[in-house]
Structure 1
Amino acid sequence: MKQRFNRQDIELLEVTNVFNGFFTMDEYRFKHKLFKGGWSGEVKREVFERGNAVVVLPYDPKTDQVVLIEQIRIPVIHSGQTPWLFELVAGMIEPGEESKDVAHRELLEESGLKAKQVHLVSSYFASPGGTSEKFDFFWADVDASLAKGVHGLDDENEDIQVHVMSRVEAFTLVKDGIINNASTVIGLQWLELNYLCLQNNPETSVR
């Protein structure tokens, strides 16, 4: 089913930067067409601008193992059982970079692994009600036996522990609510649907 409206159905009145720090916040003033007909009044929304990112699922189809990373995420200190989260590899796409190149770079920086191949699976918005951030989701064909240690960039204050576990164990952490961040849940659910295809033909990009 195709959506009824597109970008031409928005009148963008003004975009004003209201905060510049580690992240950026802009205020949007706009009008838009309504499903019931006509146009809305003026709407104001603050948008959290942090650029776009990649998320990478390192998977070894030969051993049916997943490589996850663990690091501190201070924003969840008051709402999670622990601010140390099991996650997939992820990183920001800088201007002029290709997302596939970023996927390779972040995989090496955060896990110490070099992928045999990375395959683009899909792109999705992290939280479109408040941020413009879009993720390009890749799965990486890796040798899980090489995954170990602590990684990350010192100049970015990264302290990243690598974990290797079976696909079944990783998905059990999702079902038990221990893995509770969106990108990792999405990635492991996708893997649960597609692991047989990856094992039978890891050269194929599965969507």
Structure 2
Amino acid sequence: MRGADEPDHRGRTGLHLTGLDLTRNPGIRVDEVELVAAAWHVLRRTRYRERDAAGDWHEKVAETYDRGNGATILLYDTERRTVLLTRQFRYPVYVNDHPDGMMLETAAGLLDADDPETAIRREALEETGHEVSELQHVFDVYMSPGSVTERLHFFAARYSGATARTAGGGLHDEGEHIDVVEVGIDDAIARIGVDIVDAKTIMLLQWAVLRGPFAVGGAA
């Protein structure tokens, strides 16, 4: 199968072996990994045993979707009390009852072969057109730990007219059509659960007013 013994379209092999060597948790034993699908991302079905408090072992099955790790960033301007978001069409939410699939989000993307800092600088420039200088690492979060392996690295940085390099909008040769949207922080907080319904964006907005640049005593 492609991705196992035969390279997939990204040149990867051995994707059916991921997890078999894990020993960090003595209460978990991984027995078998089945490669269900290997396209751009990877779907695996893993059979493992979990030991309960009495010492008995129980067989379990987990399906994991591996899309790689990612990074996201909140761009903010404390003087004007604004944040810079993006709006783009997301088919998965469109097919799951979102009115039009157009999501307001913080800039984000997969790491690919880069470290988180390099990746988020790249994504910020591509999506918003701003070249950020000093990054603040906020936290790292597993966004959907029941089924998705992704760990998302959260960052924040200042933006201004001086950091603008292009109009942003994403990479058109990759089919990206991204609008750059500037929103007042108070307006953004009020819109949580209304038309700001993206988890990473909500988390960064709430961090910004609770402990970040818009909190009392926060960054000037």
SS at match of 1:122: strand
Q: In 2 relative to 1, CA 140–94 (structure 1 residues): closer, same or farther, beyond 3 Å?
A: same
Q: Pick from 10, 14, 31: which aligns with 2:49?
A: 31
Residue 117 of structure 1: how far off its partner (Å): 1.3
Q: Which residue of 2 is the match for residue 137 of structure 1?
A: 154
Q: Once superposed, what is the RMSD of the aligned Cα atoms?
A: 1.9
Residue 164 of structure 1: how far off its partner (Å): 0.7
SS at match of 1:169: helix
Q: Which residue of 2 is the match for residue 7 of structure 1?
A: 25
Q: Pick from 95, 102, 117: which aligns with 2:134?
A: 117
Q: What is the rounded CA distance, in whole Å, between the counterparts of 1:104 and 1:39 in structure 2?
A: 48
2:113 corresponds to 1:83: no
Contact 1:149–1:161 under 8 Å retained in 2: no
Q: Which residue of 1 is the match for residue 187 of structure 2?
A: 169
Q: In 2 relative to 1, CA 147–166 (structure 1 residues): closer, same or farther, beyond 3 Å?
A: farther
- For 1:109, the aligned partner's letter is E
Contact 2:125–2:168 under 8 Å retained in 1: no
SS at match of 1:62: coil
Amino-acid identity (%):
27
- For 1:142, the aligned partner's letter is Y
2:190 corresponds to 1:190: no
- For 1:50, the aligned partner's letter is R
For normalisation by structure 2, the TM-score amounts to 0.81
- For 2:204, the aligned partner's letter is G
Q: What is the rounded CA distance, in whole Å, between the counterparts of 2:55 and 2:173 in structure 1?
A: 52
- For 1:184, the aligned partner's letter is T
SS at match of 1:152: coil
SS at match of 2:135: strand
Residue 149 of structure 1: how far off its partner (Å): 4.3
Q: Pick from 115, 118, 122: which aligns with 1:105?
A: 122
2:87 corresponds to 1:73: no
Per-residue deviation, residues 128-152 of structure 1 (Å, max 9, x unmatched): 0011011000001111684984511
Per-residue deviation, residues 52-89 of structure 1 (Å, max 9, x unmatched): 00011111122211000000000111311220000000
SS at match of 1:117: coil
Residue 156 of structure 1: how far off its partner (Å): 2.1
The structure in which a higher percent of residues are helix is 1
Contact 2:126–2:168 under 8 Å retained in 1: no
SS at match of 1:100: helix
SS at match of 1:199: coil
